């Protein structure tokens, strides 16, 4: 028996679970644990609110850089070893943050954390999708993204449970303790997963930006800015408004994100991905608009949490699927374009918030940028064809 066969998984569920666990590590414990930690770190005096926005920007710069690096390495056959290294190093960086109180060092670690996150977020799903295709189970690939929702829920629980007995940089410790064993297992399993790129699915050289796809890409760019402000600052807004919410807004984001992948996947199949995206962007815009229309009120925070938390993963899934239908042979070029657009506008969000705060605006008022971006996304989607005419 050859080595590839000996490493053949006994069930198609284990690779999906391994990919989901990798996303729990990098997206839950690495990236978005920062959102519920942010107001606590500010209250502890470790960072200012302006510095908090800058830290988020550095993390998103790293995420964009890591995603581009992942695509470069994947196309050159180095994806498997890079995934293992970046997944374990991401967890170790989370641990290093426990010992750092200087802003400049913390900013560097958040940048490196973002690079690892971007690499893993591209490579882990790509590797498992490649294997699922060989097993004729590609339709199950969306279930990997349940790891994002589970990560949000788990990181939120860890922060809330430890909020009263940890302070300052020690607040990173529960996430690091949880991340390290999960990262080791997931990286070990995914490194051993067999599979090669399916033949005949290389990129063609046709124009990626054309009349059909350009409005879809620009709409997706708007979605990146639209969702990232609440996903970064919602607990900080609650703290700024001096509201103690039960359940917390971030917990509602995590809970509503869990079923959203399944929901939007099935809704897109039932009514079409374009129509589902129009609904998705309208609901997201309503969520951000609720926070702006109901200032200083718990209802505004809760509505924003529920409506954005229940839609942002659906926007990713539906856009990727619709883009593939418009450019079925573009492969990595298409992934690169989507990741670059979404990643670039994500890092704009905290930067715009920082400018607003330094200019005397309230944190919540900077969400107007997210609302406008989601309206932009909705309007542009009206020009996107439901499918390409041949």
What is the C-alpha to C-alpha distance for residues 340 and 208, in angstroms, rounded to an integer?
A: 14
> Is the distance from CB of 353 to CB of 229 less than 8 angstroms?
yes
Across 286-313, average pLDDT: 94
What lies within 8 Å, CB to CB, of 380 at 6+ separation is 215, 216, 218, 219, 222
Where is 155: in which H helix or E strand? Answer: helix 146-162
Distance separating alpha carbons of residues 172 and 90, to the nearest angstrom: 13
Give the pLDDT confidence of 232-251 residue by residue, as tens digits. 899 989 988 988 888 888 88
Count CB atoms within 10 A of the CB of residue 320.
16
Nearest CA-CA partner of 154 in 36, 306, 304: 36
Read off the pLDDT of residues 276-292 as tens digits, 9 standing for 90 and up.
999 999 999 999 999 99
Residue, of 94 and 203, whose pLDDT is higher? 94
| Terminal-to-terminal C-alpha distance of the chain | 46
Structure tokens at 356: 């607003």
Provide the pLDDT for residue 126: 79
Q: Which residues contact 148 (CB under 8 A, 6 or more apart)?
A: 23, 24, 27, 28, 257, 313
- Per-residue pLDDT tens over the stretch 350-367: 889 889 988 889 999 999
Spacing of C-alpha 47 from chain mean position:
24
CA proximity to 157, closest of 262, 280, 258? 258
pLDDT at res. 92: 97
Q: What is the pTM of this model?
A: 0.81
- Residue 208: pLDDT band by 50, 70, 90 thresholds? low
220-239 average pLDDT score: 92
Q: Average pLDDT for residues 76-94, to the nearest whole number?
A: 91
Averaged pLDDT for residues 115-129: 87
Query: Using 50, 70 and 90 to split pLDDT, how confident is the model at 199?
Result: very low
Are the beta carbons of 195 and 338 closer than 8 angstroms? no
Name the token pair of 133: 């295709």
Choice among 21-35, 104-118, 209-223 with the minimum mean pLDDT: 209-223
- What's the whole-number mean pLDDT along residues 280-309? 95
């Amino acid at each position: 028996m050859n080595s590839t066969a000996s490493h053949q998984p006994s069930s198609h569920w284990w690779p999906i679970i391994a990919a989901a666990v990798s996303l729990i590590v990098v997206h839950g414990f690495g990236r978005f644990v920062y959102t519920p930690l942010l107001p606590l770190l500010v209250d502890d005096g470790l960072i200012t609110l302006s510095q908090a926005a800058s830290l988020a920007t550095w993390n998103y710069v790293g995420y964009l850089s890591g995603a581009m690096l992942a695509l470069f390495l994947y196309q050159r056959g180095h994806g498997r070893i890079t995934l293992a290294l970046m997944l374990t190093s991401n967890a170790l960086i989370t641990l290093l943050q426990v010992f750092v109180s200087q802003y400049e060092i913390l900013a560097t670690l958040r940048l490196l954390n973002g690079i690892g996150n971007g690499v893993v977020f591209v490579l882990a799903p790509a590797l498992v999708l490649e294997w699922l295709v060989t097993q004729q189970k590609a339709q199950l690939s969306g279930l990997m993204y349940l790891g994002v929702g589970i990560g949000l829920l788990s990181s939120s629980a860890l922060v809330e449970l430890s909020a009263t007995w940890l302070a300052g940089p020690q607040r990173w410790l529960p996430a690091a303790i949880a991340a390290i064993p999960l990262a080791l297992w997931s990286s070990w399993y995914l490194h051993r997963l067999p599979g090669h790129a399916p033949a005949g699915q290389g990129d063609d050289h046709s124009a990626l930006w054309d009349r059909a796809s350009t409005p879809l890409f620009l709409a997706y760019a708007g979605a990146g800015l639209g969702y990232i402000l609440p996903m970064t600052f919602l607990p900080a807004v609650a703290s700024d408004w001096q509201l103690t919410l039960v359940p917390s807004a971030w917990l509602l984001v995590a809970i509503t994100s869990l079923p959203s992948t399944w929901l939007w996947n099935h809704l897109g199949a039932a009514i079409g991905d374009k129509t589902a995206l129009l609904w998705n962007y309208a609901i997201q815009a309503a969520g951000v608009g609720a926070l702006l229309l109901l200032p200083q009120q718990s209802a505004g925070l809760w509505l924003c949490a529920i409506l954005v938390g229940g839609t942002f993963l659906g926007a990713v899934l539906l856009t990727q699927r619709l883009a593939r239908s418009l450019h079925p042979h573009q492969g990595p070029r298409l992934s690169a374009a989507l990741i670059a657009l979404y990643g670039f506008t994500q890092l704009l969000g905290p930067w715009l918030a920082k400018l607003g705060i330094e200019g005397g605006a309230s944190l919540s008022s900077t969400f107007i940028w997210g609302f406008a971006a989601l309206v932009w996304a909705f309007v542009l989607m009206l020009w996107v064809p439901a499918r390409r005419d041949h």
